[in-house]
A and B are shown apart, each in its own frame.
Chain A
Amino acid sequence: MKKIYIVLLTLGLLACEDKVNVNLPEAPEALVIDAWVNNKNEPQEINVLKTQPYFDNSVPIGVSGAIVEVTSEEGTVFTFTEMEPGKYTWDPATSTETIGDELLDYTLTVVAEGQTYAATSRIKRVPPVDSIKFTFKEERNPFQPEGYYAEFVATDPVGPSDSYWIKSYKNGVLLNRPFELNIAFDAGFNEGGNIDGVVFIQPIQDAVNPLTEELDAFEPYEVGDSLYVEIHAIPNDAFTFLQQVQIQTQRDGGFDEIFAEPMENVSTNIENVSDSPNGQVVGFFSMAAVSGNGKRVSE
C-alpha cells in the first residue's frame, strides 16, 4: 500500500520534505531483554539493555549484574554468565550439548535491578533446507540487474501454524537489514494466506538475495560468493513479534502517514513477575530449532 502513495506523490502532488528538530519530552527508560536462543551447539547469547533516547547517537547501555537463566520443561537449568556489561552467554560444555529439545517448553528468568522478569517459549519442528540454487539472469529491470540469483528449496511440513525466520548469510555475514527480514507462516507470508504443507512460496525462496546499500535494487551474487540459509522454527507469538518489527522498521513515513495506523510499540512476551513490579520491559524471548544448508557460486 505504501508504494501507492509514493507514486501518488511523484504524480505531481508537489510534496517536499525537510529535516526538522523534534523536541521530545524525556521518556522513562525501559529494560530491554533480547533473548533469541537456538538449539545449535554453539554459544548462546542473551542481552539485557536499556532503551536509549530516540535522537541520541549512543551505543546501547548494558545492564550488569543480572541473573539470567533458561529452564526446560523437564527442569534442566542453563545459566548465562556475564561476559561484558549487559551481554550474557551460555557455552555448550560438550560438542553435542544444546538448549532446545524439540517440542519442549522453556522458561526464561532474568533478575535485574531488583526486579524479576519471566517469559516462556517452545521448540517447534523444523524442516530441512533441501537445496540452494543459483541461476544467472540477464538484467530484467533497474531493480533486478544482471547476476546470479539464489533461491532455497524447503518444504513446510503438513499441518497448520508452523512459523519460521529464514536467515541468510552472504559470505558468512547475516543479511540483517529491515527489508531483508524474511519470515514465513507455514509456506506463505501470513496465516491468512492459508498455504500449508508445500514448498515455501517463491517470494520467500527469493528473499535470500541481498539488496544494495540504498535498498533500491537487488545485489545479485557473483562467482565465488557463498550463501548459507538457516530456517529457524519459532513459536507463533515470536512470528507475530517479528512481523511487528518488520512493519515498524519498514515504515517509510511520508505522505501515507496520515492514512496509516498510528505508530505502536511492538509486543513483548516478557512479564515483570516481581512482587512489586516497577518499570516497563520490552523485548522478546524465543526458542528456535535450526536447520541449514549452504552453497558457493561457481561458473
Chain B
Amino acid sequence: MKTHKCGYASTKTKIMKKIYLFGVFTLAFCLSAFAQEGNFTLNGYVKDLDNGEELIGVTIYVEETKSGAITNVYGFYALSLPPGEYNILYSYMGYQTIRQQIDLTKDMVFNVELPSSVTEMDEVVITGEAIDANVTDIKMSRNDLNIQQVQRLPALFGEPDIIKTIQMLPGVISAGEGTSSFFVRGGSADQNLILIDEAPIYDPSHLFGLFSVFNSDVIKDSKLYKGGIPAQYGGRLSSILDVRTKDGNNKKFGGTAGIGLLASKLMVEGPIRKDKSSFIVSGRRSYVDLFLRAADQDNFVHFYDVNAKASWKHNNNNRFFAAVYLGRDVFEFEDVFGFDWGNATATFRWNHLFNDRLFSNTSVIASNFDYKMELDDNVQGFIWKSNLQEFSFKEDLNYFVNPSNALDFGYHVTYRRFEPGRLSPNAQNSIFVDTELQHQFALDHALYANHEWKASERLTLAYGARLSIFQNIGEQDVYLYDDPKENVDIERIDTLSFDAFENIKTYINLEPRVSLRYLLNPTSSLKASYSRMVQNTHLISSGTVPIPFNTWNPSDYYLEPQIADQWAVGYFKNLKNNSIELSSEIYYKDIQNVTDFADNAQVFFNNDLSTEYRQGDSWSYGLELMAQKKEGVLTGFISYTWSKAERKIPDVNQDKAFFANYDRRNAFNAVATYELNDKWVLGANFTYTTGRPTTVPSARYAYEGYQVDYITERNGYRLPDYHRLDLSATLTPRKNANRKWKSSWTFSIYNAYNRSNAFSIYTRVKQDDDGNIIGDGNEKEARMIYLFPILPSVTYNIKF
C-alpha cells in the first residue's frame, strides 16, 4: 500500500471566506433596505404572572392596525408602529387575555405578565379576539404539544411521555408500542433532530424505548416541525422536535414529586434573586432494579435523568441561561454481562437586545452520546466503548423591521467527533486484542436568512435559505478500494492520510425554504410550503428501530449527504370562535441518498464499513387531517393520516423498490381529556394503524443439511392491524384547597380492551408448547409476538 498526503485545505478556506463575506454583505443590504423612518418600536417579554416563566408563542394583536406579532422561543416580541394610541391584546392558551392601551410616542419597552385562566370550568372566558394562529400564522406542518394535557393522558406505566403523544400526531408513525422512535412523513428515525434546549439528543430512549428521555416535569414547550421547516433549523431531513425546558420560578420556591410504578421523580425550582434569577433541578430514576435486588435477582436494569437550569435575567437587554441534561440506562446481567448508554448535554445562552428591534440569541452547546458493553469472561471477555461528541456555536438574530417585515438570520458552526468503537480485552487470557475503529471528525457551518413579509392583509410570504457547508476533516486515513462496493473480497489499493483539521471532503448545499399563507376569510386560510433539507450525520442501520448501539457516521469521502425536498399544501379552518381548529395537508417528499446496508453486510467492527452501505432514493406522500379542541371541559384532538413510504436502494431487495419499515397506510388517533368536575379529570387515547411491513421468507431449501430461508421480497408481508384504547382518571382531592401542598392521583389503564397487538412475527421449526419438535423437523411455523396486555397503573403526584 502506498501512502500520500493531500493538501488543498488552503484553497477551500479561501472559498469559504468568500462565501462568508458574500453572506454578510447580502444581509447588510437587506437590513438597510428595510429600515424605515418615522416608526417607533414596542417590545418586551411576556411572562407567566405566577412563576415568571417566559411564554413562547403569545399572540400580540394591535386592534387598530389589525396586525400583530408572536413571542419568539425566548418569550420576546417586538412591534414597529407609527406614533399613535393603540389597544394591544396579549393572549395565550390557558391564560387570561390582557388588553393594554399604549400611547406610542417613543420607542417603548413593555413587559407583560399574564395570569393563568381560572380553572373552574364554568368561568372559562373565551375572549372575542381569541387565538387564531392556526389560520393566520404562516407556519404549517407544525404541531405544538400541550404538556399539561400530556400529563393528564393515560400513560404506559403511568409515566407521561411527550414522545408517545407525538406518535399520535398526523403524519407521525410509531414503530410499535414500547418504542421511542417516530417516523415523520416517510422519513427514518434518524432523520428527526431532537433538541433539548437547543442541544441534540442522539438517542431519546430509556429501556430501549419504553420511555423517552423527556421528563414531563421540566418541559415548558415542545414543537414538532414536519415540513416548511424554518431556515434557522437544519441538519436533519424529516423533522425537528424542539423541546424547551422551564427556566425555574423566579418568584417563589416550589416543586413537584411523583411516585409511579416504574420510576419516581422530584423537581425543585425557585428564585436565586427574586424576579432576577432562578434555578430548576429535576431528577428521575427507575427502581425496578431495587425490587429485583430485594428479590435476590442477579439482573439489574435502571435509568435516570437529571435536568438542571439556571437563569439570570440581568435586564431586558441581557439575559443568561445555563442548562444541563444528563441521562443514562444501565443493564447488568448476573455480574457477567452489562451495558449502558446515555446522553449528556449542556447549553449556555445569552439573549441580547442590540436595539429595540434587533434581538440576538447566542448559544454555546455541547452534546455527548456514549455507550459501553462489557462481558466478564476469562476467554471471551471484552469491553466495547463508543462515543460521539459535538460542540456548537450559534448566533441567531431576529430583526423586527416593521409590522409587515421580519428578518431572521444567523450563523451556526458545529464540530463533531465520532469514536465508533474501541474493543479491549478485560481478562488476561481474552481472545480479543485491543483494536479501535478510526475516529472521524466533521466541521459543519451554516449561514441562513429568512424574510417574512406580510404582503397584504391576506397574503403572507416567507422565503429564505440555509447555506450548509460541511467538511469531513482529519485526522483520518481514507482507504481506496479496487471496487468500493465489493464487500466480500475487499481489496484496498491505496490509503490517503489526512492530518488533524485537514479537509477530506467538502459538501456545499443551498437549502431554499419558502412558505406562504393566504387568508380566505377571517377563519380559514390556504398555506403552502417547499423546503429542502440536508443531512450530513447518518445513522447507519437497517433495523426498524435504531438501537443505542448503532453507528453514527458523518458524510465523508464515500458517504454523500442526504437531501430531502418536500412540498406541502394545506387548508386551515377555525370553528366556534377559534375554539376548534381544523387542518388538512397533503405532502410529497423526495429523498436522495438515504442510507441502508447491502444484503449480508458485516456491520460489526468493520474498518471497511464504507463498502457495506448503499445510498438510494426514498419517496413518500400522504394526506393528514386533524381536528383539535383546545378550550372547554373537553379538549383533545383527532387525527387521520393516509401515507405511503417507499425506498429503492442498490444491492438491497435485488434493486427493487420496497416499502419502508415504517410504512403504514392508515393511521387514526384520538386523544381527549374531559374535566368531569373540580375533582376528576378523565383522559383517553385511541389509536388504530395499519400493520407495519415485515419480511417473511417465502420458500426454503436444504443446503448441507441446513434449512436455509429464501426471501423474495423485503417487507413483503404486513403485520395485523394495530389498535388500542387507553384510559386515565386524575383525582385532585378537594382538601387540597386548604393546604400548602397539592396532591393528585393518576390512574391509568393501558390497552383497556386487552388487544393482542402484533409486535413482530418470526418463524421456527414446528414445535409443541414444550419445545419438542413436531414431525421430522422439516415443517416450519410462524409465531406472533405481542407485548402489553391490559396494564393498570397508578401515580401519586405532589406539588408544593
Contacts and interface: CB of A to CB of B under 8 A. Distances in A.
B600 A17 contact: no
A51 interface: yes
Contacts of B288: 11-12
Contacts of A27: 698-699, 710, 712
Interface string B602-644: 1111110000000000000000000000000000000000000
B711 A24 contact: no
A240 B699 contact: no
A258 B544 contact: yes
Interface string A23-37: 011111110101010
A85 interface: no
Contact of B782 (A14, A20, A237, A282): A20
B331 A4 contact: yes
Nearest to A194: B433
Interface stretch (B443-451, B452-460, B726-734, B758-766): B758-766
B379 A262 contact: no
A55 B605 contact: no
A295 B255 CA distance: 73
B699 A263 contact: no
Interface residues of A, number: 82
B178 A13 contact: yes
B710 A60 contact: no
A265 B783 contact: no
A52 to B, nearest CB: 6
Nearest to A181: B706
A7 interface: yes
Contact of B710 (A51, A56, A202, A251): A51
Given A13-B178, A60-B702, A261-B597, A202 B379 contact: yes
B762 A262 contact: no
Nearest to B175: A258
A10 B301 CA distance: 12
Given A52-B701, A282-B701, A261 B603 contact: yes
A211 interface: no
Contact of A253 (B292, B706, B712, B785): B785
Nearest to B758: A20
B542 A261 contact: yes
Contacts of B489: 236-237
A210 interface: no
B701 A20 contact: no
Contacts of B604: 192
A121 B697 CA distance: 28
Contacts of A52: 699-701
A17 B176 contact: no
Contacts of A195: 431, 433
Interface in B720-760: 756, 758-760
A258 B179 contact: yes
Contacts of A190: 602
Contacts of A15: 759, 785-787
A34 B760 contact: no
Interface in B786-800: 786-789, 791
A158 interface: no
Contact of A19 (B379, B661, B705, B781): B781
A46 B208 CA distance: 46
A254 to B, nearest CB: 6
Contacts of A214: 771
B760 A255 contact: yes
B784 interface: yes
Nearest to A34: B703
A14 to B, nearest CB: 6
A49 B696 CA distance: 22
Interface stretch (A99-107, A241-249, A271-279): A241-249
B789 to A, nearest CB: 6
Given A244-B600, A283-B703, A18 B784 contact: yes
Interface stretch (B17-25, B66-74, B357-365, B772-780): B772-780
Interface string B322-358: 0000000001010001010000000000000000000
Interface in A250-270: 251-255, 257-267
Nearest to A22: B782
B695 interface: yes
A16 B786 contact: yes
Contacts of A19: 781-784
B715 interface: yes
Contacts of A43: none
Contacts of A55: 779-782
A8 B705 CA distance: 33
Contacts of A32: 701-703
A204 B596 CA distance: 32
A7 B780 CA distance: 25
A75 interface: no
B459 to A, nearest CB: 46
B144 interface: no
Nearest to A176: B705
B562 to A, nearest CB: 20
Given A52-B700, A264-B714, 13 more contacts: A7-B333, A8-B207, A16-B786, A16-B789, A54-B699, A54-B709, A57-B778, A59-B778, A249-B708, A253-B761, A255-B787, A257-B694, A259-B543
The 6 lowest CB-CB distance pairs between A and B, nearest first, are: A253-B762, A27-B698, A257-B760, A51-B699, A57-B779, A264-B599
24 contacts: A7-B299, A11-B301, A20-B783, A20-B784, A24-B698, A50-B701, A53-B699, A176-B704, A192-B606, A192-B607, A240-B488, A252-B764, A253-B762, A253-B763, A253-B783, A257-B762, A257-B785, A258-B544, A259-B543, A262-B661, A264-B599, A264-B714, A265-B710, A284-B703
